[in-house]
Amino acid sequence: MKEAVGAIVAAAGRGERLGRGPKALVSLAGRPLLRWALLSLADCPLVSEIVIAAPPEEETAVRRLAGDFPQVRAVVPGGEHRQHSVARGLAALSGEVRWVVVHDAARPLVTPGLVEAVIRAAWEAGAALAAVPVADTLKEGRERVTRTLSREGVWQAQTPQAFRRDWLERAHRQAAREGYVATDDSALLEKYGYPVRLVRGNRLNLKITEPEDLAWAEAWLERSAPVRVGIGFDAHRLVEGRRLVLGGVEIPFPRGLEGHSDADALCHAVMDALLGAAGERDIGHWFPPADPRFRAARSLELLRQVADTLRRRGWVPVNVDLTVVAEAPLLAPYLPQMKINLAEALGLAPEAVGVKATTAEGMGALGRGEGIAAWAVCSARFPGRSGP
Ligand code: MG
Protein backbone atom coordinates (compact mmCIF):
# COMPACT_ATOMS: atom_id res chain seq x y z
CA MET A 1 0.00 0.00 0.00
CA LYS A 2 1.39 3.36 -1.05
CA GLU A 3 1.17 6.44 1.14
CA ALA A 4 -1.98 8.55 1.45
CA VAL A 5 -3.18 10.48 -1.60
CA GLY A 6 -5.02 13.76 -1.13
CA ALA A 7 -7.02 15.41 -3.90
CA ILE A 8 -7.31 19.15 -4.48
CA VAL A 9 -10.24 20.29 -6.61
CA ALA A 10 -9.66 23.67 -8.19
CA ALA A 11 -13.22 24.97 -8.26
CA ALA A 12 -12.83 28.73 -7.89
CA GLY A 13 -13.17 29.61 -11.59
CA ARG A 14 -15.47 32.53 -12.35
CA GLY A 15 -16.85 30.96 -15.51
CA GLU A 16 -16.91 34.26 -17.39
CA ARG A 17 -17.07 32.71 -20.87
CA LEU A 18 -19.91 30.46 -19.73
CA GLY A 19 -21.80 33.42 -18.30
CA ARG A 20 -23.76 31.45 -15.71
CA GLY A 21 -22.03 32.44 -12.49
CA PRO A 22 -19.24 30.54 -10.69
CA LYS A 23 -18.35 27.66 -12.97
CA ALA A 24 -18.20 24.90 -10.35
CA LEU A 25 -21.86 25.52 -9.51
CA VAL A 26 -23.12 25.47 -13.10
CA SER A 27 -25.55 22.62 -13.62
CA LEU A 28 -24.77 19.77 -15.99
CA ALA A 29 -27.52 17.15 -16.50
CA GLY A 30 -29.01 18.04 -13.13
CA ARG A 31 -25.84 18.25 -11.06
CA PRO A 32 -23.30 21.03 -10.50
CA LEU A 33 -19.99 20.54 -12.36
CA LEU A 34 -18.16 20.28 -9.04
CA ARG A 35 -20.38 17.40 -7.94
CA TRP A 36 -19.59 15.43 -11.09
CA ALA A 37 -15.86 15.86 -10.45
CA LEU A 38 -16.28 14.85 -6.79
CA LEU A 39 -18.16 11.70 -7.77
CA SER A 40 -15.17 10.47 -9.79
CA LEU A 41 -12.55 11.44 -7.22
CA ALA A 42 -14.57 9.84 -4.42
CA ASP A 43 -14.98 6.70 -6.55
CA CYS A 44 -11.22 6.33 -6.96
CA PRO A 45 -10.11 4.03 -4.12
CA LEU A 46 -6.63 5.58 -3.99
CA VAL A 47 -7.93 9.00 -2.92
CA SER A 48 -8.24 9.23 0.86
CA GLU A 49 -9.16 12.89 1.29
CA ILE A 50 -10.36 15.84 -0.78
CA VAL A 51 -9.89 19.58 -0.35
CA ILE A 52 -11.95 21.98 -2.47
CA ALA A 53 -10.87 25.49 -3.41
CA ALA A 54 -14.26 27.17 -3.73
CA PRO A 55 -15.26 30.37 -5.48
CA PRO A 56 -14.90 33.19 -2.94
CA GLU A 57 -18.26 33.89 -1.29
CA GLU A 58 -19.60 30.50 -2.39
CA GLU A 59 -18.00 28.41 0.35
CA THR A 60 -21.33 27.76 2.05
CA ALA A 61 -22.95 26.59 -1.19
CA VAL A 62 -19.94 24.36 -1.89
CA ARG A 63 -20.00 22.88 1.61
CA ARG A 64 -23.67 22.07 1.15
CA LEU A 65 -23.21 20.33 -2.19
CA ALA A 66 -20.12 18.42 -1.03
CA GLY A 67 -21.42 17.62 2.45
CA ASP A 68 -22.32 14.01 1.78
CA PHE A 69 -18.81 13.01 0.60
CA PRO A 70 -16.99 11.70 3.69
CA GLN A 71 -13.63 12.24 1.94
CA VAL A 72 -14.07 16.03 1.83
CA ARG A 73 -11.73 17.37 4.51
CA ALA A 74 -11.93 21.11 3.89
CA VAL A 75 -13.38 23.80 1.68
CA VAL A 76 -11.01 26.75 1.30
CA PRO A 77 -11.60 30.06 -0.47
CA GLY A 78 -9.92 30.18 -3.86
CA GLY A 79 -7.22 32.73 -4.65
CA GLU A 80 -6.75 35.27 -7.40
CA HIS A 81 -5.38 32.69 -9.86
CA ARG A 82 -5.89 28.96 -10.10
CA GLN A 83 -2.33 28.50 -8.83
CA HIS A 84 -3.12 30.39 -5.62
CA SER A 85 -6.22 28.27 -5.11
CA VAL A 86 -4.17 25.08 -5.40
CA ALA A 87 -1.58 26.49 -2.95
CA ARG A 88 -4.33 27.10 -0.40
CA GLY A 89 -5.66 23.61 -0.98
CA LEU A 90 -2.18 22.16 -0.39
CA ALA A 91 -1.98 23.90 2.97
CA ALA A 92 -5.29 22.35 4.03
CA LEU A 93 -4.33 18.71 3.33
CA SER A 94 -3.66 16.55 6.37
CA GLY A 95 -0.14 15.74 7.53
CA GLU A 96 -0.24 12.09 6.38
CA VAL A 97 -0.78 13.01 2.73
CA ARG A 98 2.38 12.32 0.70
CA TRP A 99 0.88 12.41 -2.80
CA VAL A 100 -1.42 15.01 -4.27
CA VAL A 101 -3.75 14.75 -7.23
CA VAL A 102 -5.03 18.07 -8.56
CA HIS A 103 -8.21 18.20 -10.62
CA ASP A 104 -10.28 21.01 -12.14
CA ALA A 105 -14.01 21.10 -11.35
CA ALA A 106 -14.37 22.29 -14.96
CA ARG A 107 -13.61 18.71 -16.12
CA PRO A 108 -16.72 16.90 -14.89
CA LEU A 109 -16.42 13.84 -17.16
CA VAL A 110 -13.17 12.56 -15.71
CA THR A 111 -13.39 8.88 -14.81
CA PRO A 112 -12.14 7.24 -11.60
CA GLY A 113 -9.96 5.08 -13.87
CA LEU A 114 -8.11 8.08 -15.29
CA VAL A 115 -7.57 9.50 -11.78
CA GLU A 116 -6.09 6.17 -10.74
CA ALA A 117 -3.87 5.88 -13.84
CA VAL A 118 -2.37 9.33 -13.23
CA ILE A 119 -1.74 8.61 -9.53
CA ARG A 120 -0.05 5.31 -10.39
CA ALA A 121 2.16 7.02 -12.97
CA ALA A 122 3.13 9.63 -10.35
CA TRP A 123 4.02 6.86 -7.90
CA GLU A 124 6.53 5.64 -10.48
CA ALA A 125 7.80 8.94 -11.85
CA GLY A 126 7.16 11.45 -9.05
CA ALA A 127 4.85 13.60 -11.20
CA ALA A 128 2.34 12.85 -13.97
CA LEU A 129 -0.50 14.44 -15.86
CA ALA A 130 -3.31 13.36 -18.15
CA ALA A 131 -2.93 14.73 -21.68
CA VAL A 132 -4.09 13.99 -25.21
CA PRO A 133 -2.05 14.30 -28.41
CA VAL A 134 -3.05 17.32 -30.48
CA ALA A 135 -5.19 16.21 -33.42
CA ASP A 136 -5.77 19.50 -35.24
CA THR A 137 -3.22 21.29 -37.37
CA LEU A 138 -1.83 24.23 -35.40
CA LYS A 139 -1.59 27.73 -36.83
CA GLU A 140 0.09 30.78 -35.40
CA GLY A 141 -1.08 34.31 -36.16
CA ARG A 142 -3.37 37.15 -35.23
CA GLU A 143 -5.62 37.97 -38.17
CA ARG A 144 -3.40 36.28 -40.72
CA VAL A 145 -1.55 33.02 -40.44
CA THR A 146 2.13 33.63 -39.83
CA ARG A 147 3.10 29.97 -39.77
CA THR A 148 1.95 26.40 -39.29
CA LEU A 149 3.32 24.77 -36.17
CA SER A 150 4.34 21.16 -35.97
CA ARG A 151 2.00 19.12 -33.84
CA GLU A 152 4.56 16.34 -33.66
CA GLY A 153 4.95 15.43 -29.98
CA VAL A 154 2.53 18.19 -28.90
CA TRP A 155 -0.03 17.35 -26.22
CA GLN A 156 -3.00 19.14 -24.72
CA ALA A 157 -2.66 19.10 -20.95
CA GLN A 158 -5.63 18.06 -18.84
CA THR A 159 -6.22 17.34 -15.21
CA PRO A 160 -5.95 15.11 -13.17
CA GLN A 161 -2.28 15.82 -12.44
CA ALA A 162 -0.56 13.97 -9.60
CA PHE A 163 2.65 14.78 -7.74
CA ARG A 164 4.85 13.94 -4.82
CA ARG A 165 3.59 16.40 -2.23
CA ASP A 166 7.06 17.70 -1.33
CA TRP A 167 7.83 18.40 -5.02
CA LEU A 168 4.56 20.23 -5.56
CA GLU A 169 4.99 22.27 -2.38
CA ARG A 170 8.55 23.24 -3.27
CA ALA A 171 7.55 24.24 -6.80
CA HIS A 172 4.65 26.34 -5.48
CA ARG A 173 6.87 28.07 -2.91
CA GLN A 174 9.51 28.88 -5.49
CA ALA A 175 6.93 30.19 -7.97
CA ALA A 176 5.39 32.36 -5.22
CA ARG A 177 8.82 33.84 -4.44
CA GLU A 178 9.47 34.60 -8.10
CA GLY A 179 5.95 35.81 -8.84
CA TYR A 180 5.68 33.17 -11.57
CA VAL A 181 2.10 32.22 -12.47
CA ALA A 182 1.26 29.24 -14.69
CA THR A 183 -2.05 27.80 -15.87
CA ASP A 184 -1.40 24.33 -14.45
CA ASP A 185 0.70 22.69 -11.75
CA SER A 186 2.72 20.58 -14.13
CA ALA A 187 4.15 23.79 -15.63
CA LEU A 188 5.60 24.75 -12.23
CA LEU A 189 7.34 21.41 -11.85
CA GLU A 190 8.64 21.56 -15.41
CA LYS A 191 10.02 25.05 -14.81
CA TYR A 192 11.98 23.94 -11.77
CA GLY A 193 13.39 20.86 -13.41
CA TYR A 194 11.21 18.04 -12.08
CA PRO A 195 10.37 15.21 -14.49
CA VAL A 196 6.67 14.96 -15.36
CA ARG A 197 5.26 11.88 -17.05
CA LEU A 198 2.54 12.08 -19.71
CA VAL A 199 -0.44 9.77 -19.24
CA ARG A 200 -2.78 9.41 -22.16
CA GLY A 201 -6.13 10.88 -21.12
CA ASN A 202 -9.20 10.95 -23.29
CA ARG A 203 -11.09 13.61 -25.18
CA LEU A 204 -14.26 13.07 -23.18
CA ASN A 205 -12.42 14.55 -20.21
CA LEU A 206 -13.13 17.91 -21.79
CA LYS A 207 -12.83 21.26 -20.07
CA ILE A 208 -16.09 23.17 -19.80
CA THR A 209 -15.23 26.68 -20.96
CA GLU A 210 -17.73 27.79 -23.58
CA PRO A 211 -21.50 27.17 -23.61
CA GLU A 212 -21.05 24.59 -26.40
CA ASP A 213 -18.76 22.52 -24.15
CA LEU A 214 -21.63 22.25 -21.70
CA ALA A 215 -23.95 21.18 -24.52
CA TRP A 216 -21.47 18.46 -25.59
CA ALA A 217 -21.08 17.14 -22.06
CA GLU A 218 -24.82 17.17 -21.50
CA ALA A 219 -25.48 15.30 -24.75
CA TRP A 220 -22.87 12.70 -23.85
CA LEU A 221 -24.22 12.13 -20.35
CA GLU A 222 -27.80 11.86 -21.52
CA ARG A 223 -26.88 9.55 -24.37
CA SER A 224 -24.98 7.26 -22.05
CA ALA A 225 -27.60 7.27 -19.28
CA PRO A 226 -30.11 4.43 -19.42
CA VAL A 227 -33.80 5.32 -19.42
CA ARG A 228 -35.76 3.65 -16.64
CA VAL A 229 -39.51 3.24 -16.65
CA GLY A 230 -41.88 3.06 -13.68
CA ILE A 231 -45.58 2.28 -13.32
CA GLY A 232 -48.09 3.59 -10.81
CA PHE A 233 -51.74 2.82 -10.01
CA ASP A 234 -54.11 4.36 -7.54
CA ALA A 235 -57.86 4.28 -6.81
CA HIS A 236 -60.03 6.02 -4.26
CA ARG A 237 -63.72 5.80 -3.41
CA LEU A 238 -66.08 8.68 -4.16
CA VAL A 239 -67.94 9.78 -1.01
CA GLU A 240 -70.21 12.62 0.09
CA GLY A 241 -68.74 15.60 1.91
CA ARG A 242 -65.31 15.62 0.26
CA ARG A 243 -63.78 17.92 -2.35
CA LEU A 244 -62.84 16.29 -5.63
CA VAL A 245 -59.19 17.06 -6.47
CA LEU A 246 -57.45 15.49 -9.47
CA GLY A 247 -54.07 16.55 -10.79
CA GLY A 248 -54.18 19.44 -8.34
CA VAL A 249 -57.40 20.79 -9.90
CA GLU A 250 -60.50 21.14 -7.75
CA ILE A 251 -63.48 19.93 -9.76
CA PRO A 252 -67.06 20.88 -8.86
CA PHE A 253 -68.90 17.62 -8.10
CA PRO A 254 -71.28 16.49 -5.33
CA ARG A 255 -68.84 13.83 -4.15
CA GLY A 256 -65.09 13.72 -3.59
CA LEU A 257 -62.40 11.08 -3.18
CA GLU A 258 -62.01 9.54 0.24
CA GLY A 259 -58.57 9.43 1.78
CA HIS A 260 -56.13 10.70 4.32
CA SER A 261 -54.64 13.43 2.12
CA ASP A 262 -56.67 15.22 -0.54
CA ALA A 263 -56.87 11.73 -2.13
CA ASP A 264 -55.68 13.01 -5.51
CA ALA A 265 -55.45 9.57 -7.12
CA LEU A 266 -53.88 11.03 -10.24
CA CYS A 267 -50.97 12.60 -8.36
CA HIS A 268 -50.57 9.41 -6.32
CA ALA A 269 -50.30 7.27 -9.44
CA VAL A 270 -47.72 9.65 -10.96
CA MET A 271 -45.71 9.65 -7.73
CA ASP A 272 -45.57 5.87 -7.64
CA ALA A 273 -44.57 5.75 -11.31
CA LEU A 274 -41.75 8.22 -10.67
CA LEU A 275 -40.59 6.33 -7.57
CA GLY A 276 -40.78 3.09 -9.52
CA ALA A 277 -38.57 4.45 -12.30
CA ALA A 278 -35.99 5.42 -9.67
CA GLY A 279 -36.20 2.00 -8.02
CA GLU A 280 -37.50 3.61 -4.82
CA ARG A 281 -40.12 2.38 -2.35
CA ASP A 282 -43.74 3.42 -2.83
CA ILE A 283 -45.65 6.50 -1.77
CA GLY A 284 -46.97 4.82 1.39
CA HIS A 285 -43.40 4.49 2.61
CA TRP A 286 -42.55 8.14 1.85
CA PHE A 287 -45.78 9.58 3.25
CA PRO A 288 -47.25 7.06 5.73
CA PRO A 289 -51.07 7.45 5.99
CA ALA A 290 -50.77 7.21 9.79
CA ASP A 291 -48.53 10.30 9.89
CA PRO A 292 -50.64 13.32 10.95
CA ARG A 293 -48.33 15.64 8.94
CA PHE A 294 -49.92 14.36 5.74
CA ARG A 295 -53.53 14.78 6.83
CA ALA A 296 -55.34 16.80 4.18
CA ALA A 297 -51.99 17.29 2.44
CA ARG A 298 -52.06 18.66 -1.11
CA SER A 299 -50.85 15.71 -3.13
CA LEU A 300 -49.53 17.97 -5.88
CA GLU A 301 -47.16 19.41 -3.23
CA LEU A 302 -46.11 15.90 -2.18
CA LEU A 303 -45.43 15.07 -5.82
CA ARG A 304 -43.26 18.18 -6.11
CA GLN A 305 -41.32 17.10 -2.99
CA VAL A 306 -40.73 13.61 -4.38
CA ALA A 307 -39.60 15.01 -7.74
CA ASP A 308 -37.25 17.51 -6.06
CA THR A 309 -35.73 14.84 -3.83
CA LEU A 310 -35.15 12.48 -6.75
CA ARG A 311 -33.61 15.29 -8.79
CA ARG A 312 -31.20 16.04 -5.97
CA ARG A 313 -30.22 12.38 -6.07
CA GLY A 314 -29.46 12.75 -9.79
CA TRP A 315 -32.68 11.52 -11.39
CA VAL A 316 -33.93 13.45 -14.37
CA PRO A 317 -37.59 12.74 -15.28
CA VAL A 318 -38.12 12.41 -19.03
CA ASN A 319 -41.87 12.02 -19.46
CA VAL A 320 -45.05 10.96 -17.74
CA ASP A 321 -48.23 9.56 -19.25
CA LEU A 322 -51.40 8.71 -17.44
CA THR A 323 -54.98 7.63 -17.89
CA VAL A 324 -57.65 8.40 -15.35
CA VAL A 325 -60.83 6.32 -15.31
CA ALA A 326 -63.93 8.16 -14.07
CA GLU A 327 -67.54 7.51 -15.00
CA ALA A 328 -68.34 11.05 -13.83
CA PRO A 329 -67.76 13.96 -13.82
CA LEU A 330 -66.66 14.72 -17.34
CA LEU A 331 -62.94 15.47 -16.94
CA ALA A 332 -62.09 16.77 -20.42
CA PRO A 333 -62.42 20.50 -19.50
CA TYR A 334 -59.92 20.08 -16.63
CA LEU A 335 -57.23 18.05 -18.39
CA PRO A 336 -55.21 21.05 -19.72
CA GLN A 337 -54.82 22.51 -16.21
CA MET A 338 -53.89 19.09 -14.77
CA LYS A 339 -51.20 18.81 -17.42
CA ILE A 340 -49.80 22.23 -16.50
CA ASN A 341 -49.86 21.41 -12.77
CA LEU A 342 -48.10 18.07 -13.19
CA ALA A 343 -45.50 19.46 -15.59
CA GLU A 344 -44.71 22.26 -13.18
CA ALA A 345 -44.43 19.94 -10.16
CA LEU A 346 -42.17 17.54 -12.08
CA GLY A 347 -40.04 20.23 -13.71
CA LEU A 348 -41.04 18.97 -17.16
CA ALA A 349 -42.20 20.72 -20.29
CA PRO A 350 -45.99 20.36 -20.75
CA GLU A 351 -45.44 18.27 -23.89
CA ALA A 352 -43.64 15.68 -21.73
CA VAL A 353 -46.81 15.09 -19.71
CA GLY A 354 -49.75 13.15 -21.12
CA VAL A 355 -53.07 13.33 -19.26
CA LYS A 356 -55.98 11.31 -20.65
CA ALA A 357 -59.39 10.44 -19.27
CA THR A 358 -61.85 7.71 -20.09
CA THR A 359 -64.81 5.89 -18.56
CA ALA A 360 -65.25 2.20 -17.78
CA GLU A 361 -68.39 2.02 -19.96
CA GLY A 362 -70.56 1.13 -16.97
CA MET A 363 -68.60 -2.01 -16.19
CA GLY A 364 -67.61 -2.96 -12.66
CA ALA A 365 -67.16 -0.71 -9.63
CA LEU A 366 -65.52 2.10 -11.60
CA GLY A 367 -68.28 1.83 -14.16
CA ARG A 368 -70.87 2.25 -11.40
CA GLY A 369 -69.05 5.43 -10.36
CA GLU A 370 -68.05 4.09 -6.94
CA GLY A 371 -64.62 5.62 -7.30
CA ILE A 372 -61.92 6.99 -9.60
CA ALA A 373 -58.70 5.25 -10.61
CA ALA A 374 -55.54 6.34 -12.40
CA TRP A 375 -52.69 4.53 -14.13
CA ALA A 376 -49.40 6.28 -14.83
CA VAL A 377 -46.07 5.48 -16.43
CA CYS A 378 -43.00 7.61 -16.01
CA SER A 379 -39.55 7.45 -17.55
CA ALA A 380 -36.43 8.95 -16.03
CA ARG A 381 -32.72 9.01 -16.68
CA PHE A 382 -29.93 8.72 -14.19
CA PRO A 383 -26.93 10.30 -15.91
CA GLY A 384 -23.68 9.38 -14.28
CA ARG A 385 -21.49 6.59 -13.12
CA SER A 386 -22.86 6.24 -9.62
CA GLY A 387 -25.18 7.96 -7.20
CA PRO A 388 -26.12 9.83 -5.21
MG1 MG B 1 -53.88 7.16 -3.03
- Please give the distance, rounded to the nearest whole angstrom, from the Cα atom of residue 264 to the centre of ligand 1: 7
Instruction: Give the pLDDT confidence of 243-301 residue by residue, as tens digits.
Output: 999 999 999 999 999 998 999 999 999 999 999 999 999 999 999 888 888 888 899 99
* pLDDT score of 2: 66
316 CA to centre of ligand 1 in angstroms:
24
Q: Are 168 and 185 in contact (CB under 8 A)?
A: yes
CA–centroid distance, residue 352 to ligand 1 (Å): 23
| Averaged pLDDT, 201-216 | 94
Contact 57, 78 (CB under 8 A): no
Burial of 310 (0-12, 13-18, 19+ CB in 10 A): buried
- Return the percentage of the chain with pLDDT > 70, whole number: 98
Q: How far is the CA of 251 from the centre of ligand 1 (A)?
A: 17
d(CA 172, CA 308): 43
265 Cα to the center of ligand 1, angstroms: 5
pLDDT at residue 168 tops 60: yes
The alpha carbon of 122 and the centre of ligand 1 are apart by a number of angstroms equal to: 58
333 C-alpha to center of ligand 1: Å? Answer: 23
Cα 309 to ligand 1 centroid, rounded to whole Å: 20
- Compute, in angstroms, the gap from residue 234 CA to the centroid of ligand 1: 5
Q: How many A from CA of 180 to the centre of ligand 1?
A: 66
Instruction: Output DSSP code: residue 321.
Output: E
The string of pLDDT tens digits covering residues 311-338 is 877 788 999 999 999 999 999 999 999 9
What is the mean pLDDT of the segment spanning 37-64?
A: 95
